[in-house]
Amino acid sequence: MTTRDLDHRDRCAIVGAGRTDYSSRSGRSVLSLATEASLAAIADAGLEPNDVDGIVRCDFDVVAHNDLAHALNLPNLSYWGASGPGGSAPSGMMAQAVGAILSGQATTVLVYRSMNGRSGFRLGKGRLQGQAGAIGGNGSYEEFFVPYGLVSPGQMWAMLAQRHMHTYGTTQEQLGHIAITCRERANANPNAQMATRGLSLDDYLSSPIISTPLRLPDYCLETDGACAVVVTSAARSVDTDKPPVLIRAIAQGAVQGMQPGLASPALMREDPLSLPSVTVAKRLYQRAGMGPEDIDVAQFYDCFTITVLVQLEDYGFCQPGEGGPFAASGAIGKGGSLPINTSGGNLSDGYIHGMSHIVEGVLQMRGESTSQVPDAETCLVTSGLPIITGAMILRKAA
């Protein structure tokens, strides 16, 4: 058996994608949101719920696989799995779907993320909000962070941004260009939460500070909503309604100085500015037989603007330390060399913990995006940082 026989390149496809409306108060259960997004993805593929025999979820989702199987009535369920932590999940969830299909454990896998992220549990206030008594222990290591007021991923990313500024001369204006770019894409997307609200550089620079040096538009939009996609084998995908979008390659990875937890422990790594996206980029491009020069459009996980900036470097679109000038150059805008986050992203469309990035990648590869990149044939989609991460390359079927 050769290496080629073992790999997953172009052997599975996304055949359906769905989402609910995004809002700050859905007034509905997280299970109802998951059900609606799943039904939309299944219908988009021209399939019936009964065709689904696999489900993969995010470890932070309050909807369990069997909860969703109950809602959809899936008696043929034969595979389920979960990935995480949190926003790093979507690429790992897709990797499990591909693994299940290629190993014969499932034929048609539903991958979803559902959250009342604004009206319900707000991740921006930290995972341990409301927990009484002594904090930490049991391998959580939160005793080194929460008692000091370091409770939220935004504060950790703010410290990385400050260090990036110190080390490389990155500026607030350069971060602002990422927020503005995502807002411009949202302004073209009637479904985005920021569809009708513009953002100029002056607006950005006069917006309130949340945690220095990050301002309100540097932060994603805590959102109520859900997204789902349906994955099947490339062979079966020819029978579905829409043009299949091939999964060219997926990769997950860690980094030297591995740390536990969700976000804050990244500060305890030997070099906190060295992120797992470097490892994942190398592995992903190798598996895809591609390089950054082959990517036509990218959906970068954007919990914060700084998160995008470091990934521009790590995925090879500019040199280490040059993420700021690259972001400000116009390269990431519509008509640039690497248009990014074409639905508006976490920052201006809605924060569905990285699943909306996959949905938008599918739309780009079908030519259906509200900010369609002409002739785009490949899309990079990344998932959350900074402890571990994952990414995938989607490709238009020939």
Partner 1 sequence: MSELDLRPVPCTDDPDTGGFWEAAARGELAIRVCSDCGQVLHLPKAYCHGCGSWNTAWQVVAPTGTLYSWTTTERELRPGFVPPYTIVCVELDDAPGVRLVGYLDGRPQLESGMPMSATFEVAQGGVVIPQWQPA
Q: Residue 310 Cβ, how far from partner 1 at the closest point, in Å?
A: 14
User: Rounded CA gap, 246 and 57, in Å?
Assistant: 21
Closer to partner 1 by Cβ: residue 151 or 182: 151
Residue tagged 């770019």 (tokens): 181
Do you find a cis peptide bond into 213, omega within 30 degrees of 0? Answer: yes
Closer to partner 1 by Cβ: residue 214 or 221: 214
Dihedral sign for Cα 307, 312, 316, 319, please.
negative
Known catalytic residues are 301, 351
Q: Residue 163 Cβ, how far from partner 1 at the closest point, in Å?
A: 4
| Alpha carbon distance, N-terminus to C-terminus of the chain | 27
User: Rounded CA gap, 337 and 360, in Å?
Assistant: 18
Closer to partner 1 by Cβ: residue 276 or 333: 276
Q: Residue 176 Cβ, how far from partner 1 at the closest point, in Å?
A: 17
User: Rounded CA gap, 143 and 132, in Å?
Assistant: 13
Residue 164 to residues 64, 150, 171, 209, 262, Cα–Cα distance (Å) = 38, 19, 9, 18, 20
Binding residues vs partner 1 (CB under 8 A): 124-126, 128-129, 131, 134-139, 141, 143-152, 155, 158-160, 162-163, 166, 208-214, 259-260, 264-265, 267-268, 270-272
Residue 167 to residues 94, 138, 162, 163, 276, Cα–Cα distance (Å) = 35, 35, 9, 6, 19
Closer to partner 1 by Cβ: residue 45 or 151: 151
* Cβ-based neighbours of 188, under 8 Å, separated by 6 or more: 370, 371
Per DSSP, the three-state class of 298 is strand
Q: Residue 279 Cβ, how far from partner 1 at the closest point, in Å?
A: 17
Closer to partner 1 by Cβ: residue 211 or 346: 211
Q: Residue 309 Cβ, how far from partner 1 at the closest point, in Å?
A: 15
